[in-house]
């Protein structure tokens, strides 16, 4: 009988185990470029995404929908379900809450890529890391939670387009037009961009040379959260060169502007598998678009935890 993992079951895996699962898979030689490309289906009120992947004796597929108009209706913008099968018999082993899985795995991938740099920054800081997060949604919160699970954090500023109360996971909330945002970015050790913006949310001139920037909001070639200035200054880490050059507007548009050379992109497999060097005197940008292998790796870890409980 197939197991059913609801949101609570999936999130019970926790950020530390999720990050470890991603890093272990890449360190063992898994190459994201071998993954099956996801299918993005235009729909009358948004998009449908089909994300299949096979690795390590498992096959899984996430069926997700993105409905931008749902926000105004008070409904979730993203809905998703994950189907996990064993590769040997192709029998369905588990049905997982796909939204919770996405919420967990996205920051896990970001932190898996930058963990060594993150810990080095924490070791050199006094009291903990300073974070600036663009976007107050689940991914903004998830990135803060995942970073906190791996390094001390002393201060979190969240930046949104409109005002409102500060979420419980932040020290303060600023409106994007507030002049204090620029100073917060200048001081930040880590900047997270987790928005639905289609144009840059910050100036690349403001980011410190030692800083980490995690960008997860855009997965379309015409939409970006980071400008070409930052992409040209930084070491840019991506899941896959092919995927980044096809889907990541932050990368695609910077290349088109002549700010970023495609050959300069560093993949996560190179970083965690072969130990590619990342210069400490340049910002480190981790730009992810979301790939099917990430869901599979974390889904298997969540399923195994549930089976052992």
pLDDT digits 0-9 by tens, 136-194: 999 999 999 999 999 999 999 999 998 889 999 999 999 999 999 999 999 999 999 99
pLDDT digits 0-9 by tens, 28-37: 999 998 898 8
CA 222 and chain centroid, separation: 18
Using the predicted structure, report yes or no on whether residue 67 has a pLDDT greater than 90: yes
Using the predicted structure, report yes or no on whether residue 23 has a pLDDT greater than 80: yes
Q: What was the pLDDT predicted at 218?
A: 86
pTM of the entire structure? 0.95
Using the predicted structure, report yes or no on whether residue 219 has a pLDDT greater than 90: no
pLDDT (average), residues 50-60 = 96
By three-state DSSP, how is residue 297 classified? helix
d(CA 174, CA 184): 10
Q: Do 216 and 147 touch, CB atoms closer than 8 A?
A: no
CA distances from 262 to 55, 222, 258 (A): 27, 17, 10
d(CA 208, CA 211): 5
Least confident of 6-10, 200-204, 248-252, 269-273: 269-273
d(CA 252, CA 223): 9
d(CA 215, CA 195): 9
d(CA 166, CA 183): 18
CA distances from 111 to 2, 30, 141, 297 (A): 31, 18, 13, 15
Using the predicted structure, report yes or no on whether residue 277 has a pLDDT greater than 90: no
């Amino acid at each position: 009988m197939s197991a059913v993992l609801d949101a609570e079951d999936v999130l019970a895996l926790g950020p530390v185990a999720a990050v470890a699962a991603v890093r272990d898979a890449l360190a063992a030689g898994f190459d994201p470029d071998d993954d099956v490309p996801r299918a993005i289906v235009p729909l009358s009120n948004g998009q449908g995404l089909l994300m299949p992947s096979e690795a390590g004796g498992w096959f899984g597929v996430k069926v997700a929908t993105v409905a931008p108009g749902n926000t105004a209706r008070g409904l979730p913008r993203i809905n998703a379900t994950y189907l996990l099968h064993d590769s040997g018999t192709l029998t369905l082993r588990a049905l997982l809450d796909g939204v919770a899985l996405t919420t967990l795995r996205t920051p896990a991938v970001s932190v898996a890529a930058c963990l060594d740099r993150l810990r080095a920054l924490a070791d050199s800081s006094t009291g903990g890391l300073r974070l600036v997060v663009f976007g107050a949604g689940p991914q903004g919160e998830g990135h803060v939670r995942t970073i906190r699970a791996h390094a001390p954090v002393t201060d979190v500023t969240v930046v949104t387009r409109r005002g409102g109360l500060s979420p419980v996971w932040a020290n303060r909330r600023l409106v994007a037009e507030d002049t204090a945002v620029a100073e917060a970015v200048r001081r930040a050790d880590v900047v997270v961009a987790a928005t639905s913006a289609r144009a840059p949310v910050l100036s690349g001139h403001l980011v410190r040379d030692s800083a980490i920037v995690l960008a997860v909001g855009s997965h379309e070639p015409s939409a970006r959260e980071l400008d070409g200035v930052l992409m040209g200054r930084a070491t840019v880490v991506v899941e896959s060169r092919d995927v980044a050059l096809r889907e990541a507007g932050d990368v695609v548009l910077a290349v088109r502007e002549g700010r970023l050379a495609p050959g300069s992109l560093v993949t996560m497999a190179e970083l965690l598998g072969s130990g590619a060097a990342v210069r400490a005197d340049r910002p480190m940008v981790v730009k992810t678009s979301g790939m099917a292998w990430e869901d599979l790796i974390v889904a298997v870890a969540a399923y195994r935890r549930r089976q052992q409980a």
